[in-house]
Amino acid sequence: MKFETAAGQNPIDQLNVVGKPIDRVEGPLKVTGTATYAYEQHTAVPNAAYGYVVGAGIAKGRIASIDVTPARSASGVLAVVTAANAGKVDKGEFYAARALAGPDVDHYHQAVALVVAETFEQARAAAQMVKVRYQRVAGAFDLDAARSTARAPKQAPYSPPPETSIGQFADAYAAAPVKLDATFSTPDQAHAMMEPHATIAAWDGDRLTLWTAIQQVNWGVRDIAKTLGIPKENVRIVSPYIGGGFGGKGTILSDAVLAAVGARQAGRPVKVTLQRALMFNNVTHRPATIQRIRIGASPDGKITAIGHESWSGNIAGGRPEAATTPTRLLYAGPHRMTRLRLAHLDLPEGSAMRAPGEAPGMMALEIAIDEMAEKLGLDPVAFRIMNDTQVDPENSRRPFSQRQFVECLRVGAERFGWSGRPVRPASRREGRWLIGMGVAAAIRGAPVTKSAARVRLDRDGLLIVETDMTDIGTGSYTIVAQTAAEMMGLRVDQVKVRLGDSQFPESSGSGGQWGAASATAGVYAACVKLRETAARKLGFDPVSAEFANGQVRQGGRSAPLVHAARDADLVAEDTMEYGELAKQYAQQTFGAQFVEVAVDAATAEIRIRRMLAVCAAGRILNPKTARSQVIGGMTMGAGAALMEALVVDKRHGFFVNHDLAGYEVPVHADIPHLDVVFLDETDPTIAPLKAKGVGELGISGVAAAVANAVYNATGVRLREYPITLDKLIDRLPA
């Protein structure tokens, strides 16, 4: 099926199942510990050996020698894999980092060896016996120092253009009566997902099966095949449950590659998990940025010029952090410029992390907008509303498909009590606490990608849905079940969903905020075919037949749907593909984030007291799981604002705080009750369900809203994240 014209009325619009706050269908499995994650596939792979990764002890240089003889002789050891005996190990198409060092070392904790043994303890003990001698060379580890060497990156998939220019930015900015020129910095951040990167690999002749934690099964098949030099047809990936990804498990990483190579060497299945202390330097992270934002405006508050430049670093072949993305679409202004620059750094690879581009970009942009509002003597909400646009600011002939940004701000301001915000910073106090409120916009793209599914109606009336879509804790199982149930007129408990297996039809996968809208569209397409087949089987006109309450009806006649499968199971499969609507319309999700903080007047301790997100994100398929996604994003945004930062040892080139003791993330005590409001919206230009993603919108803008609230409470403007008490304490009001 091809989606080429805006969606009209269709079976989803009945909203008997879709749009309801249904509990996660896989919830009981997860809370009882019976959901089988990658490392727990004991039934599927009962005789797996254990692999333990040895990470490089330097950040840049060469391996002079490796002595693995003591390790090979250790108790229970089956194999020791290094670059010398691993065979050809290439790279996939998405990540730039190599899974196995040798002879060159590209970054700290890059794998230099894998020890495979009968038990985990034996593998770990033998790994300590691997003796590596290195030749260290100087590396680049400081983004600020490397900034002068940064260059325009090549245009990369999923990244904005390295440079954009509309009008005459330099002249318009120079002539603007009111100006802002500010520089901001965001640190390296870690995904810190609960489930580590983990894989079990098994070979059957020349065919490889991986049970792995991966968001994009189709990318994983492609990339492991390329990495190992085997046909894609010889690869199967199984990933039914994932304990958090946030972009950090987009496709295969070192755990999958090393498990596959280790299983080949050992001649039996091998399971590998990256120990927590290895994860932070071995796999990807959100890279640090330095951002300069210039805004010019007329005295009445209209933006006339806006420019956003961002510098980030990466290993050779890595992508830039796309921090300029939100500035291109969020506010009006005739004269515009964005510029990305990429420096070479010998740190672990920087790559996608929840809302790549928007999350760090808005950490800068939305503070700058607040600063500009203050210069103009305008309320920050009013200034944002004043500079709204209903068309793409870079292309006035391209309207937004839906843009309720102003409504998000107005609803949020009313609900949050924005009128009670202290106009003068540091003017409201409750005992020892300075109180402030902050606001920030939220924006995130609403892409859709090709996605397929297969549906099967069996003789017992059970509808089975199969697609290689993954569930990374987002509720994919549930919204897929709701879509199929709505289309076929069934209850959710009459639908069984099977996900995360490359033997199923190829889906969009989880990432880029495209998963919900795309995967459900694929299920919709397959169900349309199944409806046609079932209607004909029962003697109805497929065009006018209605499916509801387990019945197929037309005119005055009805028949149970299950009777269509009386002779044999009915099976249908289809793919949803897309036409040119995304070129005709700017398709985005929008929101507004409101935060109230309290800052201790003596110690500068910051406490978040209230948070509100108002979101416009198309049809909300399941308000319960969507709210869960948004509050998760808000929590991560609070962490980015106040505590999360990978500390770089700029002498030796590694992230020092490479565990969950040193890398601080929010805990329950840090986060108050969070409120989420979804505006009523459908977007017929997206897909038949008229829905968009929401999981990455939830984090966009949050950190800046916190920073703006801290400024309102204290009068101290910070442009360097995270906002920690040491940066505030000597600048607080007397």
Smallest CA-to-CA distance from 454 within 388, 507, 393, 376 is with 507
Kind and range of the H or E run holding 115: strand 111-117
Token readout for 206 is 């020349």
For residue 202, give the 3-state DSSP assignment.
strand
Tokens 């492609």 identify what position? 222
Distance between CA 577 and CA 448 in Å, rounded?
9
Contact 554, 546 (CB under 8 A): yes
CA dist., res. 663 & res. 465, Å (int): 40
The CA angle 684-690-696, to the nearest 5 degrees, is: 120
Cα distance between residue 230 and residue 235, in whole Å: 8
3-state secondary structure at position 14:
helix
- How do 289-297 and 2-3 pair as beta strands? unpaired
3-class SS string, 392-406: ECCEEEEEECCCCHH
- Contact present, 517 and 448 (Cβ < 8 Å): yes
- The torsion defined by the Cα of 692, 695, 697 and 700, in degrees rounded to 10, comes to -160
Report which secondary-structure segment, H or E, holds 257.
helix 254-266
Measure the CA–CA gap between 136 and 673, rounded to whole angstroms.
50
Alpha-carbon dihedral of residues 340, 346, 349, 353, nearest 10 degrees?
Answer: -60
Measure CA 212 to chain center.
Answer: 18
Sheet holding 433-445: strands in order across? 429-430, 433-445, 588-600, 606-616, 674-678
Per the listing, tokens 């691997």 go with: 130
Tokens of 680: 């009523």
Q: What residues are paired with 3 via a beta bridge?
A: 578
CB distance 598 to 663 below 8 Å: no
532 counts as catalytic: no
d(CA 368, CA 310): 14
Q: How many CA atoms lie within 13 A of 456 on its CB side?
A: 14
Q: Which two tokens stand for residue 597?
A: 């903080």
Cis bond upstream, residue 103 (ω within 30)? yes
How many helices (H) and strands (E) in the chain? 17, 32
Q: How far apart are alpha carbons 361 and 338 in whole angstroms? A: 11
* Gap between the Cα atoms of 13 and 548, Å rounded: 13
One-letter amino acid at 8 equals G
Q: How crowded is residue 10: how many other Cβ atoms within 10 Å of its Cβ?
A: 15
Place of tokens 């703006």: 708
Residue 358 · residue 700 · CB < 8 Å: yes
Catalytic residue among 121, 580, 696, 720: 696
DSSP string, 42-74: TTTSTT-EEEEEEEPS-SSEEEEEEE-HHHHTS
3-state class of 339 per DSSP?
A: strand
Residues with a catalytic annotation lie at 696
